[in-house]
């Protein structure tokens, strides 16, 4: 539903294949803690208020407003916490990749530029977006997640001349390049998509919860693989030891 599995997979691959390049031994353990944090908050957000009927006694006569408004307030709080955990996991998984897989590819004289680009673009996008669910007015919700089938269907290009930047898009199988606006440029580059859904039939919430639980089960499995990989790494590496790498950019 929120398409978080790739973050767990990338961390496992980094530690499994490029552990020799990790210079800060606590990084894998930190990513582990953040993975668990995401799973716990994901479960809580789906279990706490999300599928309430709005007929519950504790939703009535609230200082927060109508039953819908109180339900939306606490549900949004729960998903805000989840979004914060996801953002932290993305940032530190990016750091783990940067200080393991990227260095490994450079050492092997292979292309390394694409290793972290997905995380860089997502981190930039998440300054203005939050992965998760947001309850809005008129019985609607917005689900924000990375699109696993992201494909803009063409090529983007920007050209700067005399301090003026122009942006162009060329569709696949078409040589006709067309100029596009900054907003369209941002939209085409965005991998994190927002989908608005009507919940006038509240049974839809149960279906969404079921989809979320399926994803959580997959995340548990991926986390277990990561744990096994980390245990192997830490069998020959001390968690607490000196390091010289500066972490100012990651605080």
Lowest mean pLDDT segment, chosen from 33-42, 53-62, 85-94, 110-119: 110-119
What pLDDT does 85 receive? 96
Same structural domain for residues 142 and 176? no
- Shared domain check, 159 and 97: no
Give the pLDDT confidence score for residue 189 in this predicted structure.
Answer: 65
The pLDDT of 102-112, averaged and rounded, is 73
Q: 161 and 81, same structural domain?
A: no
Same domain, 176 and 83: no
On whether both 128 and 226 belong to a single domain, the answer is yes
Average pLDDT of the segment spanning 120-142:
90
Residue 179 per-residue DSSP state = E
- Do 129 and 159 lie in one domain? The reply is no
Q: Are residues 105 and 224 in the same domain?
A: yes
4-13, 98-107, 163-172: range with highest mean pLDDT: 4-13
Same domain, 162 and 238: no
| Cα R_g (the chain), whole angstroms | 21
Same domain flag for 79 and 100: yes
The number of helices, as runs of H, and strands, as runs of E, in the chain is 7, 6
Same domain, 96 and 21: yes
Residue 250 is predicted with a pLDDT of 46
Average pLDDT over residues 238-247: 69
Overall domain count for the chain: 2
pLDDT at 243 over 70: no
Calpha distance 5→40 (Å, rounded):
15
Q: Are residues 132 and 155 in the same domain?
A: no
Residue 124: strand, helix, or coil: helix
Q: What gap in Å lies between CA 202 and CA 120, rounded to an integer?
A: 37
Is residue 202 located within the same domain as residue 138? yes
Q: Could you tell me the residue range of the domain that residue 203 belongs to?
A: 5-146+194-250
């Amino acid at each position: 539903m929120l398409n978080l599995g790739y973050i767990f997979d990338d961390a496992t691959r980094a530690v499994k294949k490029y552990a020799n390049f990790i210079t800060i031994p606590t990084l894998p353990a930190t990513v582990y803690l953040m993975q668990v944090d995401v799973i716990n908050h994901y479960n809580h957000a789906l279990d706490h208020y999300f599928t309430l009927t709005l007929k519950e006694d504790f939703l009535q006569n609230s200082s927060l407003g109508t039953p819908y408004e109180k339900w939306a307030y606490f549900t949004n709080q729960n998903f805000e916490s989840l979004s914060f955990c996801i953002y932290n996991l993305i940032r530190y998984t990016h750091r783990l990749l940067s200080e393991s897989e990227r260095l490994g590819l450079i050492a092997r004289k292979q292309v390394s530029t694409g290793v972290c680009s997905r995380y860089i673009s997502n981190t930039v996008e998440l300054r203005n977006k939050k992965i998760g669910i947001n309850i809005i007015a008129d019985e609607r919700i917005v689900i924000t997640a990375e699109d696993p089938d992201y494909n803009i269907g063409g090529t983007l290009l920007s050209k700067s001349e005399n301090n003026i930047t122009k942006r162009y898009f060329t569709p696949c199988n078409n040589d006709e390049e067309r100029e596009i606006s900054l907003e369209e440029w941002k939209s085409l580059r965005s991998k994190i998509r927002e989908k608005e859904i009507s919940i006038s039939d509240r049974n839809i919430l149960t279906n969404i919860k079921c989809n979320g639980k399926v994803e959580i089960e997959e995340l548990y499995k991926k986390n277990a693989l990561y744990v096994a990989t980390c245990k192997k790494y830490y069998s020959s590496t001390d968690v607490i030891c000196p390091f010289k790498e500066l972490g100012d950019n990651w605080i």
